[in-house]
Amino acid sequence: MCPTQLFFISLLILFIINSSIAENTKPFGYCPSSVCDNGLNISYPFWRLDYYNSTSPQYCGYPGFGINCSQSNSILYISDDSFNVTKINYNNLSLTLVDIDAVDHRGCPRVNHNLTLNHKFPLEYSEHDLYLNFYYNCTVSFPDSADRLDCLSSGGNNSYFYVGDYEPIDLKWYGICEKKVVVPVMDGGLIRGVGAAIGEGFVLDWQISKECGKCEASQGRCGYDNSTHESLCFCNDGTIKFDTCEGTQFLTHLHD
């Protein structure tokens, strides 16, 4: 091979290497945005749960913030319950959720579980929410201050609900009703009826995850390696570090 050919081959190799480095060091190249089939934009700190698999154990975003777009709905799982994400507002850090139980039963929905937000999950109820206290399948009539759900009445048993603080403090329902479920809805939604209010969902606000504070303070994006059970920090120079982009110790460099 003549020297001229060797020269051009060397230039070609350098071009390929530099192009690869430039591509891999694009800011947060490992944390791309995505759009579900229903048009919902999935961006940090949320991530596509349906893209995650055992051969790609790393995800970029908060633990528990994976959204499953593989179905007709965009599903977020909280405390083993399923919620359809209808809107994410990345400006005011809030998202709108609809309980899957209520999606196809807006005329007379029955939500079967209470939503529990624990301290490990950086979500909290919005100030724009109010609460409906449902009592299902009651064998004794409630006071006139309660709203009866005629569509859930059966065999002489009735179901009732109270709006927010209008529920009597001394209400004794144990042994009378099958269960009590507290359902959040958006303030003002009851104008269109209780079924419509539940079908329109409620709002949760998210806070910075404790595990991600150092990473975000260093202009990185937080992630997690499920195979090693370690928190990760994806930096805008293309490196992955442990908990912050500051310092020199890193795990690896991003590749296509």
Q: pLDDT band for position 42 (50/70/90)?
A: very high
pLDDT of residue 23: 38
- Share of residues in the chain with pLDDT > 90 (%): 41
Q: Are 115 and 148 in contact (CB under 8 A)?
A: no
**What's the DSSP call for residue 27?**
T
Mind giving me the DSSP string for 125-191? E-TTEEEEEEEEEESSPPPTTSEE-GGG-BTTBEEEEEEGGGS-TT---TTTSSEEEEEEEETTGGG
Maximum Cα–Cα distance for the chain, whole Å?
Answer: 98
What mean pLDDT, rounded, does the chain reach?
A: 81
pLDDT of residue 55: 64
Q: pLDDT band for position 225 (50/70/90)?
A: confident
**What's the DSSP call for residue 51?**
G
pLDDT of residue 215: 93
Flag whether pLDDT at 178 surpasses 50: yes
Q: What is the mean pLDDT of residues 146-166?
A: 88
Flag whether pLDDT at 107 surpasses 90: no
**What's the DSSP call for residue 56?**
B
Flag whether pLDDT at 79 surpasses 60: yes
Q: 155: how many CB neighbours lie within 10 A of its CB?
A: 7
Flag whether pLDDT at 18 surpasses 50: no
CB-based contacts of 37: which residues, under 8 Å, 6+ apart?
69, 72
Flag whether pLDDT at 250 surpasses 50: yes
Out of 66-70, 202-206, 233-237, the most confident range is 202-206
32 or 34, higher pLDDT: 34
> How far is Cα 179 from Cα 73, in angstroms, rounded to an integer?
28
Flag whether pLDDT at 120 surpasses 80: no
Q: pLDDT tens-digit profile of 180-201?
A: 999 999 988 888 888 888 989 9
**Beta strand pairing call for 202-206 and 123-125:** antiparallel
Q: Are 248 and 237 in contact (CB under 8 A)?
A: no
Flag whether pLDDT at 204 surpasses 90: yes
Q: Which of 21-25, 69-73, 132-136 has the lowest mean pLDDT?
A: 21-25
> How far is Cα 46 from Cα 61, in angstroms, rounded to an integer?
5
Q: pLDDT tens-digit profile of 61-72?
A: 998 899 999 878
pLDDT of residue 194: 87
Angle CA 98–200–147, to nearest 5: 105
Phi, psi of 5, deg, nearest 5: -65, -40
**Domains in the chain: boundaries:** 3-28+211-253, 73-206
154 or 114, higher pLDDT: 114
pLDDT of residue 196: 86
